[in-house]
Amino acid sequence: MENNLRHLDSAFHALADPTRRAVIARLTAGAAPVKTLAEPFDMGLPSFLKHLRVLEDSGLILTEKSGRTRTCRLCASRLAETERWIANQRQLWEDHADRLANYIENQMSGEDTQ
């Protein structure tokens, strides 16, 4: 198991911004250069670059510079890792809810026979 704590901190932080989530959503349709990604947003390029940096630091995207353009692509494995943390908590919660339901059911049938 990796040192997930830092990963999760930065991944969740990266996802907590609508601009950055929109970039993720755009990248599901394939890699794109910075300028194309920045186009839809009413924001200066330096500001947008900071968002990209946050995404890259979180590992949710990978970028590669070729010539004067930088191409960005999604890193599905980091996305999956983040999803898995939530899924895991939900599973734990469901297990608990199941045990609780069983316990209550047993208590009630016990009362019937008392």
Partner DNA sequence: TCGACAATTAGCTAAACGTCTATTTATGAG
Partner DNA sequence: CTCATAAATAGACGTTTAGCTAATTGTCGA
Site of interaction with DNA (CB under 7 A): 13, 16-17, 19, 33-35, 38, 42-47, 49-52, 54, 65-70
Report the residue number, 7 or 70, with the smaller CB distance to DNA: 70
Q: How many residues bind its own copies (CB under 8 A)?
A: 33
Beta strands in 13-104 (DSSP E): 32-33, 61-66, 69-74
Name residues contacting its own copies, limited to 1-40 (CB under 8 A): 5, 8-10, 12-13, 15-18, 21, 24-25, 27-30
Cβ atoms within 10 A of the Cβ of 29, count? 8
Measured CA to CA, the distance from residue 28 to residue 4 in angstroms comes to 24
Q: How many residues does the chain have?
A: 114
Answer with the entry of DNA, its own copies, none that 57 interacts with (C-beta below 5 to 8 A by kind).
none
